[in-house]
Structure 1
Amino acid sequence: MVSMKYYIVTIAALFVALGTGILIGVNLNESDFYLRQQQLLLEGIETKFNELQVERESYMTEIDGLIREKEKNSAFIDNLYKEIIKQRLVGYNIAIIKTTDIFYYDDVPILLEEAGANIAIEITYKDRIFNYSEEEKLELYEIFNIYDYNELIAAINDQVVNFLTFGKESEFLTYLIENQWIGYTGNKAILEDSPIHYVVIAGGSLSKEAKTVEEIDLDIINKCKKNVIPVVGIERIDAGYSYIPYYKKEKISTVDNINTIMGKVSLVYIITGINGHFGEGEYSENLIPSLIEY
């Protein structure tokens, strides 16, 4: 009986030892398997990384080529642009009126001078006109008998257009310039000796301000037309609220992308006699004037 128990215990011990050996063996095999799998995964990642490096270098070479090509194209377009506008506006006296000071239009006089024009005057309607204090309102009333906003705007428009037409600077206009209600640069001698051949009115807004358009831009346009001074309306392509539809209703030519080379060419050709609405916005009718005919 004792010997039978001994055999049973011995056999059980053998099975336990065998099971333990099998378990250890399996774990070792699985460990080797996992290590091998990790090694293969790392090798795959390294291979893919090397492929991506080669692909990146290929793209960088292609990008460098495109950059060089873009620089050559830009140089060609710039030279062509200068040839297109060269001497087109010789003998023209131009006035620029900026009805807003929130957009950059300082490149417009540079453009026109490159085309040969004389910039007789630049006038900018400052933001102060729309945000003056009660003290300033009282001062305007005491000096010029002007009390409210509408009277002020109408008076400024009158004086500006009269200055363009006759070359005479009024006391009121001098006051506005000296007190920085409006910005002014120019050559008064040109106005006194020769007429203005064209007025460039630069507008546009960040948001809807139709009242400002009607009271300033459209009033100036109509006053210029009464004095037989042609007007062209321009704005930047990034203007949030376009004045172009208002300008179009006044039957004047327009450019809505004056901050581009195409817009600059359009402006020069409009002044030389081409009519139309040029640019890239929803109110334009042609991208650029047909230069072949001119």
Structure 2
Amino acid sequence: MIIDYRYHIASLVAVFIALGIGILVGSAVLGNEGIVERQKQLADRLEIQLEELRDKNEAVQARANNLEIDNNIQKQFEKQVLPPLVAGKLSGKRLAIVETNSYGFRDDLINALTMAGATVQSVTTVLDGFELTNRKDRIISELNLKENEDEKIIKLLAAETARGILTGEKQAMLNTLAQVDLLELSGDYGVPIDGIIFIGGSQDQTLVKTENLDYPMIDYFLQQKLPVFGVEETNVTFSYMKSYQKKRVSTVDNVETVPGQLALVMAIAGKPGHYGVKPTAKQLLPPFETTGGVGSGQSVSGNTRP
């Protein structure tokens, strides 16, 4: 964190003004040269402290500028090296994305998957964690549901949404949920897919419904022998990684970053694991093979943990 000394400087300036007034009053009213001299000495010490603070502030600002330059260089480097690192690794793969935290995700995730040769067939966003408030009666009526408990309804909707993504048989139900603002639908449904990416992690605890929402969907896809990958961004307040890992699916906890996107591509390409920067991760990246330098075909580990 960058320390801003401006507030300290402002305080010292106020002290100087007060001292100036005190010196004038002391000279005019009291005529006490001793008091005036002590005030001058104090002013001199404060001036030295002010100068030191200015020097520190300049040093901190210079350091901040250097860090910003380094960060920009790092980002440029990552953007340039990602395309050749992922090129062709997912050639022909057809993927579906399911987002259960309602926040949306960055376009560069799909860009990374596309650069790797994959096609994102559909993106399904669950809104408000399938919150049924003011919608329950309509949903029960229009979908002819026999369940009445919220948790059971959410589990049912989750499982049927997963079925609709894969088979296309539940398009009417998906459209109904979209009409009541419980789903956002994009892409083609009922087409063959080779894997599903779940985007979780939340800033709002009320949206954390992994057992009722994520699990029924994940279970359905796993039952269909399809690989599932659970991802989230680094700075989420409530992480889903432990919950996803209970289902024995690969996870990436920093998917908004280039290393996270590379890890996801490699996991989909056949190197499952738990990748990222959080305590739930085992490695930053999967091991990968080089064609030179270290030795042809030699495995190089992306492990950053002791």
* Residue equivalent to 1:217: 214
Shift in Å, 1:57? 6.1
Aligned partner of 1:167 in structure 2 is 168
Structure 2 residue 91 is the aligned partner of structure 1 residue 83? no
1:281 paired with 2:278, answer yes
Structure 1 match to 2:231: 234
Amino acid at match of 1:291: F
Quote the offset at 1:210 in angstroms. Answer: 9.9
- The corresponding residue for 1:11 is none
Label 1:77 to 1:137 Cα distance change in 2 as closer, same or farther (>3 A): closer
Match for residue 268 of structure 2? 271
| Deviation of 1:131 (Å) | 3.6
Q: Give the secondary structure class of the aligned counterpart of 1:201.
A: strand
1:98 is displaced (CA, Å) by 1.0
Distance (Å, rounded) in 2 between the aligned partners of 1:211 and 1:37: 63
Higher mean alpha-carbon deviation, 166-175 vs 195-204, is at 166-175
Measure, in 1, the Cα distance between the counterparts of 2:85 and 2:239: 28
Change (3 A) 1:143 1:266: same
CA distance in 2, matches of 1:51, 1:240: 39
Distance (whole Å) between structure 1 residues aligned to residue 86 and residue 285 of structure 2? 13
The 5 Å alignment of 1:127-166 reads 127=128, 129-133=130-134, 136-146=135-145, 147-148=147-148, 149-166=150-167
Q: How many residue pairs align between the two structures?
A: 259
Cα separation, 1, equivalents of 2:110 and 2:77: 23
Between the aligned partners of 1:138 and 1:34, the Cα distance in structure 2 is: 82
Q: What displacement does 1:231 show?
A: 0.3
CA distance in 2, matches of 1:176, 1:83: 40
Q: How does 1:67-216 map to 2 (within 5 A)?
A: 67-101=68-102, 103-107=103-107, 108-127=109-128, 129-133=130-134, 136-146=135-145, 147-148=147-148, 149-188=150-189, 191-192=190-191, 195-206=192-203, 212-216=209-213
Q: Secondary structure at the match of 1:290?
A: strand
Bigger fraction of residues in helix: 1
Distance 1:246 1:55 in 2: 46
Structure 2: how far apart are the matches of 1:61 and 1:205? 35
The CA RMSD over aligned residues, in Å, is 3.3
Matches of 1:51 and 1:140, distance apart in 2: 67
CA displacement at 1:203 relative to structure 2: 1.6
Alpha-carbon offset, residue 235 of structure 1: 1.6
Q: Structure 2 unaligned segments of length 5 or more: list them.
A: 1-30, 290-298, 301-306
Q: Is the 8 A contact 2:94 2:121 kept in 1?
A: yes
Q: Contact 1:91–1:116 at 8 Å: present in 2 too?
A: yes
SS of equivalent to 1:204: coil
Change (3 A) 1:88 1:174: same
In the aligned structure 1, how far is the partner of 2:277 from the partner of 2:77? 22
CA contact (8 A) 1:99 1:203 kept: yes
Map Cα deviations across residues 72-121 of structure 1 (whole Å, 9 max, x no partner): 232112211232223322211110111121x3424333332233321111
- Which moves more between the two structures, 92-101 or 63-72? 63-72
Q: Is the 8 A contact 1:164 1:196 kept in 2?
A: no
Q: How does 1:33-72 map to 2 (within 5 A)?
A: 64-72=65-73
Change (3 A) 1:53 1:185: same
Q: Percent identity?
A: 23
- Asked if 1 retains the 8 angstrom alpha-carbon contact of 2:101 and 2:207, the reply is no
Task: Verify the 8 A CA contact 1:200 1:233 in the aligned structure 2.
Answer: yes
Aligned twin of 2:27: none
